[in-house]
Structure formats: structure tokens, C-alpha cells
Amino acid sequence: MKKLIKPKAIIFDVFGTVVDWRTSITLQCQESSEFRKLNIDCALFADKWRGKYRPFMYKVGSGKLPWTNLDDLHRMALDELLDEFKIWNLTELEKQNLNRAWHSLKPWPDSIPGLCRLKRNFITGTLSNGNVSLLVNMAKHAGLPWDCIFSAEMCKAYKPDQKVYQMAISLLDEKPQNILMVAAHHSDLLAAHAAGLATAYIPRPLEYGIQNNHVDNQDVSFVDIMVDDICALADTLDS
């Protein structure tokens, strides 16, 4: 810890930082593919689906697409992906259900106990590119005890656009330095830092699977806190 951080509110990136999207999507894909007797590499399917997230978001950011929420971007990506995997026999309902897998991603083992501890002393919320209904459904499903849900959808811009961080500052009605942004990703933390927020980095080396041990080589020396998980964050802020 570089300096004493005493936030009023702690806001979290969700995909990768709080929930393990890869394992959850892989399992959901396996369920669908067993039912349909497809022979596909479901972990690869999950990675390729997630891989389309950024390019699709950039289409919104650059104006090539009008505002489109994450559910709808996931669906556009899924349609491309099914084509690439030559899966042409899913019904519309099956596609909708597969797309809803993003609403019930599993938290990392430390997420619920860590968030429950943090909630006692701080306002805890999301600051995610996920749409509101996705984040609310995920919280209900997994038991994530958020005090508030802030979503890119509420300002129709995706992180790392400054609009998203400015929205959180404005709605929380706090000085930026009293808000701690927690994320596993460099670009998110850098943008939060630029907005004046305090930052906590939780590397999630397993985000892309155990074989793809993920080391972010980018400079994160600007962050205020770097910890292994959300329970360790609660330890740090308790002390």
C-alpha cells in the first residue's frame, strides 16, 4: 500500500475482477453442447466469445454502432461465433438462454466473503460495462451484496471512457479521492486514476484459465493498493 486510503465508497469492475466468467461460460457451453451433441472445445468457445467483447465495444465507442448494451453485444458476438464454430442448429430460445449465461457467472471464492466484510464499513457497488439487468440478475443469483449498481448503460458509454467514472463520482456525490476503484485490468485502473479515483489492483492470474496464466506486464505502479483478492482488500482497509 502506497498511502493511507480511507474511502467512503468502493466500486468494482465485475467481469474477471469479481466473477470468473471463463469457467462459468465454459460450463454453460458444455451443457448446451452435450444437449445438442456438439463436439466443440468449450473453453476455446468461451475465450473467443470474450475475445469479441472489446472489438464490439469499440464499434460503439467509435460510433460505428449506436449505443448497444452488453447483452445485445454479447448476442451479436454469439451469432458470429456460432457461425465460426459451424453451429447452425440452435433454436432462437437456446441462443437466448446461452446468451443469458453472462447473467449467472460464478464469483471467485473470495468475492462474497470479502464483499460482505467491506459492506459493513463502506458503500460497495459495481462500476461495470455489464448492463443493469445483467448485474442485478448476477447479484441475485450469486448473492453479491452490492449497495448500488452502477453500469455503463446508465451513461451510454463504455469503460474506459471517462464518462463512466464521472457518472459514478457524480451519483455518489463524493470527492473522487474518496472513491476506490477495484479492478483486475490495467486500462480500467488507469482511466479511474485519470478521473482522480483511488485505485486497487487485484491481479486475477486465472482469469484466462490455468494454462493461460495471465500476467499483465503493464506498469501498475500508479495504483494505491495491490492485493491478491477481495478478502485481502478488506484486511488492508481494516488495518
The window from 10-18, 54-62, 89-97, 147-155 that contacts a copy of itself (CB under 8 A) reads 147-155
The window from 29-37, 47-55, 145-153, 212-220 that contacts a copy of itself (CB under 8 A) reads 145-153
Binding map of a copy of itself across residues 170-209, x = CB under 8 A, - = no contact: -xxxx-----------------------------------
Binder to a copy of itself among 27, 38, 132, 206 (CB under 8 A)? 132
**Closest distance between a copy of itself and the C-beta of residue 135, in Å?**
8
Q: How many residues bind a copy of itself (CB under 8 A)?
A: 20
Q: Does 129 bind a copy of itself (CB under 8 A)?
A: no
Binding map of a copy of itself across residues 59-98, x = CB under 8 A, - = no contact: ------------x---------------------------
Locate 172 and state its grid cell.
455518489
- In our burial notation (b when 16+ CB lie closer than 10 A, e otherwise), range 82-95 reads beebebeebeeeeb
**Closest distance between a copy of itself and the C-beta of residue 77, in Å?**
18
Helices (H), the chain: 21-35, 42-51, 53-61, 70-84, 92-99, 111-121, 132-142, 162-172, 186-194, 230-238
**How large is the angle between the packed helices 21-35 and 92-99, nearest 10 degrees?**
160
Q: Does 148 bind a copy of itself (CB under 8 A)?
A: yes
What distances in angstroms separate CA 35 from CA 25, 77, 89, 90, one per listed residue? 15, 22, 12, 10
**Closest distance between a copy of itself and the C-beta of residue 56, in Å?**
18
- In our burial notation (b when 16+ CB lie closer than 10 A, e otherwise), range 44-56 reads ebbbebbebbeeb
Nearer to a copy of itself, 55 or 145 (CB): 145
Nearer to a copy of itself, 130 or 160 (CB): 130
Q: Does 149 bind a copy of itself (CB under 8 A)?
A: yes
What is the chain's Cα-based Rg? 18
Binder to a copy of itself among 11, 19, 70, 139 (CB under 8 A)? 139
Q: Does 153 bind a copy of itself (CB under 8 A)?
A: yes
Longest dimension (CA), the chain: 56
| CA atoms within 13 Å, Cβ hemisphere of 208 | 15
DSSP 77-110: HHHHHHHHTT-----HHHHHHHHGGGGGPEEPTT
What's the one-letter identity of residue 212?
N
In the complex, which residues of this chain contact a copy of itself (CB under 8 A)? 71, 123, 125, 131-133, 136-137, 139-140, 147-149, 151, 153-154, 171-174
